[in-house]
Amino acid sequence: MGKPVMISVSGVRGIVGQGLTPELMLKFSAAAGMFYGKGSVLVGRDSRVTGNMIKHAVFSGLMSVGCDPVDIGICSTPTVEHAVKFSDAVGGIIITASHNPAEWNALKLLNRDGIFLNEEEGRRVKDIIDKDLIEYVMWENIGVSSEKTCVTSAHIKSILSMDIIDVAKIKERKFKVALDCVNGAGSTVMPEILGELGCEIFPINMEPTGDFSHNPEPVPGNLTELCQVVRDNKADIGVAVDPDVDRCAIIDENGNPVGEEYTLVLSEKYVLEKRKGPVVANVSTTRAVDDVAREAGVEVFRTKVGEINVVKKMIAVNASVGGEGNGGLILPDVHLGRDAPMAAAVILSALAESDKTVSELKKEVPLYYMAKNRIEIANANADEILKKIIDMSDESKLDLTDGVKINEENYWIQVRKSNTEPIIRIMAEAATQEKAQSLCDRYIEIIKKFTG
Ligand code: MG
């Protein structure tokens, strides 16, 4: 799975014990501290077994340059974002490798508004490391560490006070919710928010041990156990989150995965019924987003893949709703980041207000199928491959926002390179799963020919 350690403008990630070392984490955190300047920096982590070791390196790095790290413990990524935004901290560090398997870990940096660093800010941190600009402070100026609790409750309180979430109506329905937190940080926030919403919870994988009970990416193939729990308990809905709880996937009342793309689509439809305004999504997100926006009479803006790109555009166009098709809903109401507990609350509110089931809500939006593949390209030049695909395509159908996307009337296909691994990602969306997969297969063949 690629190189064991990667330092980029979006942080540092790797396999612990195989490149991702405490020395590197310390150095990266010291560089982050230099970038932040003096002040407190909130540090949260998901439940990975390596998180505690890395936390100590992060604390050393921050304190060594005069920052004051604040341990907020195991909590979700959106909880850290929320906590940073509503504190006087100068920044935040999240120790998480998101949906990646247990051997991975990573550091992600937040600015003082609780938003991921943008490319330019990330480059400044990377420069501090690359150019050896870390200045350790003298002994009498070393930072002071502390702890802070209750950040999760504060986050939940903010979500439940959002205008668009009808807490009373949700409570009335006494929803039966099957919940899979994959033994990640979701175990801290998800049962609490669902409890506050009066739900009866049927939980699985709720120990925050980092011992992921299945591949932690919340895509249908990994959620068979949760689907069974929905059926066994005749639940109204199944909710799955990834280890750091920024992605949310739902299962309908029959135990069928709704598909992670539809977390955003169903939320978008509900939000636009409440308030009209632009929608922002990355270019890899389902076309159903455009259909729902057209119906509501609002514009859609597409961005490069990457949460920060969506967030930046949301700020620029004053968006009503935004997100990514991987189950990442972003609303401007509380903080600007993907938020799974918020997504769950929004979907429950949509169910409560409409008095419909999940499968009925899904029937109200256009249905597309997506295929996602990846191809290893070893030493081949990804840019040259993309250039060849551009050359062979009809120019009027091209969207070059991120990689190469070819928009046809009834389907689209996108080919883009990974910035962190020697692979090319191929995605297609069409009216049937077979059609989407055959589009991917066709481009896999083409790329194989190009790479010899
Ligand atoms: Mg994640």
pLDDT per position as a tens digit, 265-321: 999 999 999 999 999 999 999 999 999 999 999 999 999 999 999 999 999 999 999
**For the chain, percent of residues with pLDDT exceeding 90:** 94
CA-CA-CA-CA torsion sign (412, 279, 86, 114)? positive
DSSP string, 233-280: HT-SEEEEE-TTS--EEEE-TTS-B--THHHHHHHHHHHHHH----EE
CA of 57 to the centre of ligand 1 (A): 22
- pLDDT surpasses 90 at 451: no
Q: Report the run of H or E that residue 449 belongs to, with start and end.
A: helix 433-451
The predicted model scores a pTM of 0.95
Query: Tens of pLDDT along 52-82?
Result: 999 999 999 999 999 999 999 999 999 999 9
- pLDDT surpasses 60 at 1: no
- pLDDT surpasses 60 at 194: yes
Q: Which fold would CATH assign to domain 5-148? A: Alpha-D-Glucose-1,6-Bisphosphate; Chain A, domain 3 (3.40.120)
CA of 277 to the centre of ligand 1 (A): 26
Instruction: Give span(s): CATH 3.40.120.10, the chain.
Output: 5-148, 154-363
DSSP 138: P
Tell me the pLDDT band of 422, cut-offs 50, 70 and 90: confident
CA of 84 to the centre of ligand 1 (A): 18
- pLDDT score at 120: 94
Strand partners, 249: 240
What is the C-alpha separation between 368 and 174, in angstroms, rounded? Answer: 31
Instruction: Give span(s): CATH 3.30.310.50, the chain.
Output: 369-451
CA of 190 to the centre of ligand 1 (A): 14
Region 442-448: what's the mean pLDDT? 94
Mean pLDDT of the chain: 96
Mean pLDDT lowest for which of 62-71, 207-216, 259-268, 415-424? 415-424
Tell me the pLDDT band of 379, cut-offs 50, 70 and 90: confident
Region 238-250: what's the mean pLDDT? 98
Torsion angle in degrees (nearest 10) through CA of 428, 431, 437, 443: -50
- pLDDT score at 3: 60
- The CATH homologous superfamily of the domain defined by 369-451: Alpha-D-phosphohexomutase, C-terminal domain (3.30.310.50)
Instruction: Check: CB of residue 298 under 8 Å from CB of residue 278.
Output: yes
DSSP string, 188-201: HHHHHHHHHTTPEE
Tell me the pLDDT band of 352, cut-offs 50, 70 and 90: very high
Q: How far is CA 246 from CA 177, 263, 325, in A?
A: 19, 12, 12
β-sheet with 321-324: strand ranges across: 300-303, 279-282, 321-324, 328-330
CA of 217 to the centre of ligand 1 (A): 8
DSSP 212: -
CA of 147 to the centre of ligand 1 (A): 24
- pLDDT surpasses 70 at 2: no
154-363: in CATH 3.40.120.10: yes
CA of 101 to the centre of ligand 1 (A): 11
- pLDDT score at 164: 97
CA of 119 to the centre of ligand 1 (A): 19
- pLDDT score at 419: 73
- pLDDT score at 452: 72
Residues involved in catalysis: 98
Mean pLDDT lowest for which of 132-146, 220-234, 417-431? 417-431
CA of 338 to the centre of ligand 1 (A): 8
